[in-house]
Structure 1
């Protein structure tokens, strides 16, 4: 993948001076983006948004570059631009929820929009649960992590977080039950950690 991207950069960059079309700019930007060169990709995507102001893809990729470069305020602006063109981009709402994480109402607003568009996307459901968890609203977080398990009952991260949510609300038995389910998963490798976690929790009762 990296070799192909490098070849694309070599070929496409030779015509940068003559590059006028949005498609050409997007191709060069994508070639840089694929190998993680977000700084180099950014000006091409930005220029593409100027060539065609109604391009949702150009705005989205520009936003994504800024997001990966931790320019969150600018990223948020481009995600907003993208959604003004295509209001059905669940990923844009997903990233806006991360940017708004310190404001629980805004974060929940955006992730709920993403979930409405893709209701069975586990990553979105986990993000909603995490928002409640990070703001210490554990009863609501328990509901949301359980919604994840309705989609995938073996989702180890949700089980792990459910353990802590129940622990924080004083339900040690439920906490240990969720953690014990993790150690029963076929691909689980860190059984010692979970065993110690359960034993230490029980000893604190």
Structure 2
């Protein structure tokens, strides 16, 4: 009897050693990224951990359907295994199974209400489901548990930035930056908060810091260039827009912006060059280009050229009232016949009067003046 018991113990030890050896091989294959062979090796072990590793391997391969099925099998067999449920919830988000993710993270919170990650990912599922109020609550809960939870702080800052609630946005962004001063996403968001609020002087050093930290994206240069321009730092604006053109020379808006910097800096010939380049790049914005060239002509006191370009701008963009308003004002200065001037202004009211109260008020005042002048001339 003792011999039989001893034999059973020996067999169990050998089996455990074999499983341990197989598991070590499987772990090594997994660590080296040889996921298909790792799956086969883990399948020979067959315990809960190995089954979880199989799910992870399928996910790493990109076979999300099999990964979800394997995770669900693990969760059904081990309902208390939070890590499996957590990873499955994140995979549901990745595969746009937002309702499934919402249910999973809600259950995880019911199991463990002090894990900020669960609230964060619940907030993300609500955000993907376009339920911003619920997302806001979840992210606030994450921050209430962990005041340094950067991703939740970012989402809260972003939410209030979109809502144009500057002070609330800054409160969450600054909380994150106090914990990690070089978080590029938070610095960029703070720059955008000031930029959207028209505080360009405060936005500039933040955009500069974003670039210094390696986030050299086109939109950063575009906003930094405009901030320099609004801050009357024309040389830095020129340099920034030229850097942007070197990155992407097919964006007509950059050339227009650079042309506007030169115009503001009273370098009208250079301004005209960049505006014409912009027009050559993208034909559908000829109207914008002609309007800009008209403005340059007005600054040169060349009213006939200005009238020509405003007329072309109006032809290209007939729904834009300001082009026709400029036609009226330039023609007013060029023409001598008061009756002809009056016709232009009256036509403006006919075309745009109902939808342009401010401009219509200016036009109505000028119409009244012209009618008086015509009346006195007739007398």
Shorter-chain TM-score: which interval? 0.7 to 0.9
The farther-off stretch of 28-37 and 101-110 is: 28-37
- Aligned partners of 2:79, 2:144: CA distance in 1, in Å? 25
TM-score, normalization by structure 1: 0.84
Normalised to the residue count of structure 2, the TM-score between the two structures is 0.48
CA contact (8 A) 1:25 1:47 kept: no
Tell me the distance in 2 between the aligned counterparts of 1:152 and 1:27.
31
**1:54: how far off?**
1.2
**What is the number of equivalent residue pairs in this alignment?**
202
- Kindly indicate whether residue 171 of structure 2 is the aligned counterpart of residue 112 of structure 1: no
1:6 aligns with 2:65: yes
Partner of residue 248, structure 2: 189
Unaligned runs of 5+ residues in structure 1 are none
CA distance in 1, matches of 2:135, 2:225: 34
Question: Within the alignment, does 1:150 sit opposite 2:212 as a pair?
Answer: yes
Post-superposition CA distance 1:16-62 (Å, at most 9, x none): 77773233432331221222322321111111111111122211110
1:47 to 2:107 alignment: yes
Displacement of 1:129: 0.3
Aligned-pair distance for 1:191?
A: 4.9
Of 68, 76, 88, which aligns to 2:128?
Answer: 68
Structure 1 SS opposite 2:63: helix
**RMSD of aligned residue pairs (Cα, Å):** 2.6
Confirm or deny: 8 A CA contact 2:139 2:156 kept in the other structure. yes
Where is the helix percentage greater, Structure 1 or Structure 2?
Answer: 2
- Post-superposition offset of 1:110: 0.7
Check conservation: 1:148, 1:155, Cα contact below 8 A.
Answer: no
Contact conserved, 1:6 with 1:31, CA < 8 A, in 2?
no
State the match for 2:236 in structure 1. Answer: 174
Paired residue secondary structure (1:120):
coil
Q: Contact 1:129–1:144 (CA<8 Å) still a contact in 2?
A: yes
- 1:131 aligns with 193
* Deviation beyond 4 Å, 4+ runs, structure 1: 14-19
Whole-angstrom distance in 2 between the partners of 1:41 and 1:201: 49
The answer on whether the counterparts of 1:62 and 1:75 sit within 8 Å (CA) in structure 2 is yes
**Greater C-alpha radius of gyration:** 2
